[in-house]
Structure 1
Amino acid sequence: MSYSGKDYAVPETAAAAVDAVANVVSAIRDSIGYSIEELAPTFGLAVNEIADLESGIDADPIKLRRIAAALRLPEGALLR
C-alpha cells in the first residue's frame, strides 16, 4: 500500500516516539548549556537540521547517531 501523505495520519505511538527523541536532543543540548548554533559544527549538521530534529520534523537515524557520537553517548542512545 502506498501513502501519499495527504490521507495518512501518523499513529499516536509513532508521534510520541518522535516527540520523545526530539525532546531528548533538545534537553541534552540545553543541559550542557549550548545553543544550536554553537553545536552545529560539532555535530557536523546545519543549524536547520538540528532544529528540525528538535522540533520532531526530522528523525533521521544517521543524524541522530552523529549527535550521539558527538555527545559521546552510546550509538543507539537517541534511537528508538
Structure 2
Amino acid sequence: MTNAMSNLDRATYRGRVDIGGAVKQSREARGYSVEDLSLTCGLTGAEITRIELGADADPARLRRIAAALQVPTSTFHLA
C-alpha cells in the first residue's frame, strides 16, 4: 500500500494550509492567542487549532473567525 497523494489532493491540502496560515497570521496580527480568538468567535480552541493546521476549512467557521478578527472574509479565500 502506498501513501501517494494525487495532484488534486496536494492542491486541496495546500489550499487548506494557506487558509490556515492566513487565519493564524490574522490572529497574531490582532495580538490574539488561540484562547482569545476562541472567546471572541465562539469556537473552541481545538476547532481554531484544526483550522490553523489546515485540517478544517469550514466556511461557516471561517466567517465567524473573520468577523471576530475584523478582517474581510476574502482574507481566508471566501466570497
Q: Deviations over 1:32-75 (max 9, x none)?
A: 22210112110110110101100111111100011111122223
5 Å-filtered alignment, 1:1-12, equals 11-12=9-10
Q: CA-atom RMSD, angstroms?
A: 1.8
Could you tell me which of 14, 17, 39 is aligned with 2:15? 17
In the alignment, structure 1 segments of 5+ residues that lack a partner are: 1-7
State the number of aligned residues.
Answer: 73
SS of match in other structure, 1:58: coil
Cα deviation, residue 76, structure 1: 3.6
Percent identical pairs in the alignment equals 37
Q: Following TM superposition, by how much is the alpha carbon of 1:13 offset from its aligned partner in structure 2, in angstroms? A: 1.1
Contact 2:37 2:68 in 1 (8 A): no
Higher helix content, 1 or 2: 2
TM-score normalized with structure 2 length: 0.79
Pick one of 37, 42, 45 that aligns with 2:43.
45
Cα distance 1:24–1:75, how it changes in 2: closer, same or farther (>3 A)?
A: closer
Cα distance in 1 for residues equivalent to 2:24 and 2:72: 17
SS of residue in 2 equivalent to 1:30:
helix
The one-letter amino acid of 1:61's match is: P
Give unmatched runs, 5+ long, in structure 2: none
**Counterpart amino acid of 1:21?**
I
Q: Which residue of 1 aligns with 2:58?
A: 60
